[in-house]
Amino acid sequence: MPLGSGARLGHYEILSPLGAGGMGAVYKARDTRLDRTVAVKVLHQSSPALRERFEREARVVAALQHPHICTLHDIGSHEGTDFLVMEYLEGRTLPCPQPLDKSLEYGIQIAGALEAAHRQGVTHRDLKPANIMITRSGVKVLDFGLARRSGEETLTVAGAVMGTPAYMAPEQWQGNQTDARTDIHALGSVIYEMVTGKRTAAERQKLKPVRLDRAVKACLEADPEERWQSARDLRRELESIRDAPAQDSAHRQRRWLWPAATVLLAAVALAGWLLKPSPPRTHFQVSINPPPKTAFLSALLDEGGIALSADGTMLAFSARTEGRMQLWVRRLDSMEARALPAPRAPTTRSGRPTRAGSASSR
């Protein structure tokens, strides 16, 4: 019979019902000795097989200490009623769908809980949204009633199928040996449902990002050898997918940093060049008078008989002196010019000057 408010199981006072499952019902209760709120799971009926399964669940949960696994406080029996006492959780069972960031975060936490259980040799075998609570502190995995510890003899009748069909792996459907990879298959189904709001089917829709689709696809492989081989590896992959947007953003920032810096430096250099004051221009006038006893010929001037040196410091000009032309040079900062010596005419071996066109040859 259901327990009403005020009923007592030893020093636990029933406050209100919380839910019911295949093996029993769960109540909100008060621990009158420690004055705290707890959850009490009561076995529906007593039989050696059910009592053994109930006690095994208690041993399994008691061995698991993890922030994302519901904590067991006590186990007891009162007037033929067997019960478990667990931490009371305020929250709700996992709703689907969830935003992608929440789906990844919850998936990581569930994988962490399974990792801790598998490390203790415990397979949950009934992972589904109804057995996952969302609380203020995150995920809490509940109900290890079908859990099996490695090395323990199963209590399931040979050929019997135990679990929730929509989340069961093929080997569980077939009543074959189950292990940690069975839970990984179930977790893949849970993640798929969190992202899409739909249960897995033969025709699954593609998930985004692509890495998440590949990760979930590996969870749901029919052959256990093709799945993720540990919840730890799956957790790390989900963490990497969660952190990928920030990593990609940082990579894009680094990728564009050097080109942006190069453009900036080029712009600064161009601005500096454009804004650099031009060197002052020098304007001057020069009056050139012929040296004493010389004269300029206007024809020579018209033909460019005056030249300025490349560095702008010297003038060269031609002037007639005593009936012959001579080359003169003068610094611009001086009024005096000096005549350059006339080139010497070529001579013969005897030292006499040669006449044009009469040089001897042998």
Express each pLDDT in 180-238 by its tens digit: 999 999 999 999 999 999 998 878 999 999 999 999 999 999 999 999 999 999 999 99
Does the domain spanning 91-248 belong to CATH 3.40.50.800?
no
Active site residues: 126
Give tens-digit pLDDT for 26-43. 999 999 999 999 999 998
What fold, for 1-88? Answer: Phosphorylase Kinase; domain 1 (3.30.200)
pLDDT given for residue 340 in this prediction: 80
Mean pLDDT of 130-145: 94
- DSSP β-ladder status, 72-78 and 81-87: antiparallel
- Mean pLDDT (the chain) is 83
Q: Which residues are CB-neighbours of 229 under 8 A, at least 6 positions away?
A: 181
The sign of the CA dihedral 253, 259, 262, 266 is: negative
pLDDT given for residue 158 in this prediction: 47
**Do 57 and 147 meet the contact criterion of CB atoms below 8 Å apart?**
yes
Alpha carbon separation from 311 to 195, 307, 331, 336 (Å, rounded): 81, 12, 11, 19
**Do 206 and 216 meet the contact criterion of CB atoms below 8 Å apart?**
no
**Do 77 and 41 meet the contact criterion of CB atoms below 8 Å apart?**
no
pLDDT given for residue 361 in this prediction: 41
How is the beta sheet containing 91-93 ordered, strand by strand?
A: 91-93, 132-135, 138-141
pLDDT given for residue 159 in this prediction: 47
- DSSP β-ladder status, 36-43 and 122-123: unpaired
Q: Judging by beta carbons within 10 Å of its beta carbon (0-12, 13-18, 19+), is residue 11 exposed, middle or buried?
A: middle
Query: 4-8, 269-273, 284-288: which has the highest mean pLDDT?
Result: 4-8
| pLDDT band per the 50, 70, 90 thresholds, residue 360 | very low
How many other CB atoms are found less than 10 A from the CB of residue 146? 24
**Do 68 and 140 meet the contact criterion of CB atoms below 8 Å apart?**
yes
**Whole-model pTM above 0.75?**
no
Domain spans of the chain, in order of start: 1-88, 91-248, 294-330
Chain position carrying tokens 């059910």? 50
By three-state DSSP, how is residue 246 classified?
helix
Fill in the DSSP letter of residue 347. B
Give tens-digit pLDDT for 234-264. 999 999 999 987 555 544 555 656 666 666 7
Share of the chain above pLDDT 70, in %: 77
